[in-house]
């Protein structure tokens, strides 16, 4: 056991401290992985645990995309703080069942304590609102839609969507996260019940278009009931006009959900929190700890101003479950999940270790690096396509359009070098863009300079070749 634990501790220490010295981008084929597994893991003969752990460490190191690497500028997958790694190990060891208070007294209260702290940060009254940990942003967004349906349509709980008089509609920007497509499907509302509102020139939900669409849908016999504002869109990291959406929803008695899955962490920074103004007027919020809060997956959060609607949405009783006790929250009554991992410990421990100020410093440093990246790109002839105080930068280079080079070709060349990882996207589903997000707290100015230099070389080399 000692040996095994030493091996694990050594790996945690070495990986965390020396991650910069390994290649962030793997070079391995699907066939290579499959044949390795087939050859070594037929499960016929037991394998010694130390040897087994050693092999898992080796393949994970060699054949993973290392998102915690300073050179990963990716899709909101963070580097993980050590407190979060330790928390996850302790959770696996004690394995408390978070579904009921009786099985997890201290774990449930640690989660509630952490959620109350964040409820306050988001401007909700923790005494009259509620929060829960989810598997991620998708489950939190789903919880929001289910709760809004329950709250706005009393007949929905028992009769489902078929009991509703008119077809209900949700409005999201065309730049909103694709979880809402799935949510349309799984709630039984259908894909067409999720209306895509065009975004404006800075990729934010366009209020004029929203108003027009709602008017026209009502005239056509539909029943709009919910608007989603995103705080930190997945492609461009921009923040929808939250104050205007809040006002519009108040006028119309619609549910206002704010999807702050990534950008919500800005609430920790006195400098950046102002960018989220309007979020405090929402009916519900999605915020993922496993994104900008830099804890390991998976850890989402759902916050709601209407605890009774949440309880009604997820109510279920069964003779075999422990009876409810006053003041003691059984989370199976307030969330979609039943058996649930102690998700909140990693955020609790990371918050406690860094302190509020430590978090603010980490997040502000990443936002400053985003600005530094913009300036470096401009200096090297790239064009910035989005505007946001948050560290997502969408960009292109005139040479791409001139020489007919696609962003995919640039990425292919970049990945083949195995030194950096950025992504590409299409803004408003049509404007091709390279996309870099400051995702790792390990990234610094040198990393940013090196990334831009590498991209500049790739673009100029590719453009020269295509001109020949």
Contacts to ligand PLP by CB under 6 A: 76, 136-138, 141, 177, 179, 230, 234, 259, 261-262, 288, 300
**Closer Cβ to ligand PLP, 437 or 458, answer by number:** 437
Q: How far is the CB of 257 from ligand PLP (least distance, A)?
A: 11
If DSSP codes are grouped into helix, strand and coil, which group holds residue 412?
helix
**Closer Cβ to ligand PLP, 138 or 386, answer by number:** 138
d(CA 369, CA 358): 17
Q: How far is the CB of 283 from ligand PLP (least distance, A)?
A: 17
Q: How far is the CB of 176 from ligand PLP (least distance, A)?
A: 7
d(CA 299, CA 345): 10
Q: How far is the CB of 85 from ligand PLP (least distance, A)?
A: 19
Q: How far is the CB of 40 from ligand PLP (least distance, A)?
A: 31
Q: How far is the CB of 192 from ligand PLP (least distance, A)?
A: 21
**Closer Cβ to ligand PLP, 179 or 456, answer by number:** 179
Beta bridge partners of 199: 205
**Closer Cβ to ligand PLP, 78 or 329, answer by number:** 78
**Closer Cβ to ligand PLP, 179 or 425, answer by number:** 179
Q: Tell me the DSSP string of 343-381.
A: TTHHHHHHHHHHHHHHHHHHHHHHHHHHHHHHHHHHHTT
Which pair of tokens denotes residue 443? 């990234």
- Tell me the C-alpha to C-alpha distance, in Å, between residue 170 and each of 3, 219, 281, 330, 405: 55, 16, 18, 30, 38
**Closer Cβ to ligand PLP, 177 or 341, answer by number:** 177
Beta bridge partners of 173: 197
**Closer Cβ to ligand PLP, 259 or 280, answer by number:** 259
Q: How many residues does the chain have?
A: 468
**Closer Cβ to ligand PLP, 151 or 259, answer by number:** 259
Q: How far is the CB of 158 from ligand PLP (least distance, A)?
A: 29
- What residue has token string 């949405």? 313
d(CA 465, CA 411): 16
Q: How far is the CB of 234 from ligand PLP (least distance, A)?
A: 4
Task: Give the end-to-end CA distance of the chain in Å, rounded to a whole number.
Answer: 63
Q: How far is the CB of 235 from ligand PLP (least distance, A)?
A: 9
Beta bridge partners of 300: 134, 288
**Closer Cβ to ligand PLP, 324 or 387, answer by number:** 387
d(CA 134, CA 343): 8
If DSSP codes are grouped into helix, strand and coil, which group holds residue 326?
coil
d(CA 246, CA 254): 9
Peptide bond into 298 cis (omega under 30): yes
At a CB cut-off of 8 Å and minimum separation 6, what does 430 contact? Answer: none
Q: In terms of Cα–Cα distance, which of 133, 122, 125 is closest to 257?
A: 122
Which pair of tokens denotes residue 442? 């390990």
**Closer Cβ to ligand PLP, 344 or 382, answer by number:** 344
Give the helix, strand, coil percentages of the chain, each rounded to 5: 50, 15, 35
**Closer Cβ to ligand PLP, 24 or 300, answer by number:** 300
Chain CA centroid to CA 15, Å: 24
Q: How far is the CB of 354 from ligand PLP (least distance, A)?
A: 22
Q: How far is the CB of 140 from ligand PLP (least distance, A)?
A: 8
Which ranges in 19-136 belong to alpha helices (H)? Answer: 30-40, 49-62, 82-94, 105-121
């Amino acid at each position: 056991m000692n040996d095994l634990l030493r091996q694990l501790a050594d790996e945690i220490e070495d990986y965390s401290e020396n991650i910069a010295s390994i290649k962030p981008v793997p070079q391995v084929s699907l066939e290579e992985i499959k044949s390795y597994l087939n050859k070594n893991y037929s499960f016929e003969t037991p394998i010694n645990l130390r040897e087994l752990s050693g092999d898992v460490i080796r393949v994970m190191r060699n054949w993973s995309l290392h998102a915690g690497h300073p050179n990963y500028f990716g899709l909101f997958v963070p580097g993980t703080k050590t407190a979060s790694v330790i928390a996850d190990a302790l959770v696996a060891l004690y394995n408390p069942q978070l579904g009921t208070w009786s099985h997890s007294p201290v774990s449930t209260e640690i989660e509630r304590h952490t959620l109350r702290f964040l409820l306050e940060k988001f401007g909700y009254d923790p005494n009259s609102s509620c929060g829960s940990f989810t598997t991620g942003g998708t489950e939190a967004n789903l919880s929001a839609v289910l709760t809004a349906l329950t709250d706005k349509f009393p007949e929905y709980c028992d009769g489902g969507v078929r009991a509703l008089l008119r077809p209900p509609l949700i409005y999201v920007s065309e730049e909103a996260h694709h979880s809402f497509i799935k949510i349309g499907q799984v709630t039984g509302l259908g894909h067409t019940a999720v209306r895509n509102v065009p975004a404006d020139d800075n990729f934010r939900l366009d209020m004029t278009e929203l108003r027009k669409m709602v008017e026209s849908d009502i005239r056509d016999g539909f029943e709009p009931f919910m608007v989603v504002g995103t705080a930190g869109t997945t492609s461009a990291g921009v923040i929808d006009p939250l104050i205007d959406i809040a006002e519009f929803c108040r006028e119309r008695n619609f549910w206002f959900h704010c999807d702050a899955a990534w950008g919500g962490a800005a609430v920790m920074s006195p400098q950046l929190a102002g960018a989220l103004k309007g979020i405090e007027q929402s009916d519900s919020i999605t915020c993922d700890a496993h994104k900008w809060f830099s804890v390991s997956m998976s850890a989402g959060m759902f916050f709601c101003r209407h605890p009774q609607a949440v309880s009604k949405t997820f109510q279920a009783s069964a003779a075999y479950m422990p009876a409810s006790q006053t003041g003691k929250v059984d989370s199976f009554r307030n969330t979609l999940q039943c058996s649930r991992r102690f998700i909140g410990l990693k955020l609790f421990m990371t918050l406690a270790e860094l302190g509020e100020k430590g978090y603010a410093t980490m997040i502000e440093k990443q936002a400053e690096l985003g600005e530094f990246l913009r300036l470096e790109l401009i200096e090297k002839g790239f064009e910035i396509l989005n505007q946001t105080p948050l560290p997502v930068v969408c960009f292109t280079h005139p040479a791409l359009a001139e020489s007919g080079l696609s962003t995919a070709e640039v990425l292919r060349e970049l990945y083949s070098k195995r030194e950096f990882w950025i992504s590409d996207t299409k803004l408003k589903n049509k404007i091709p863009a390279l996309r870099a997000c400051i995702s790792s707290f390990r990234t610094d100015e040198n990393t940013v300079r090196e990334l831009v230099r590498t991209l500049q070389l790739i673009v100029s080399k590719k453009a020269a070749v295509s001109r020949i």
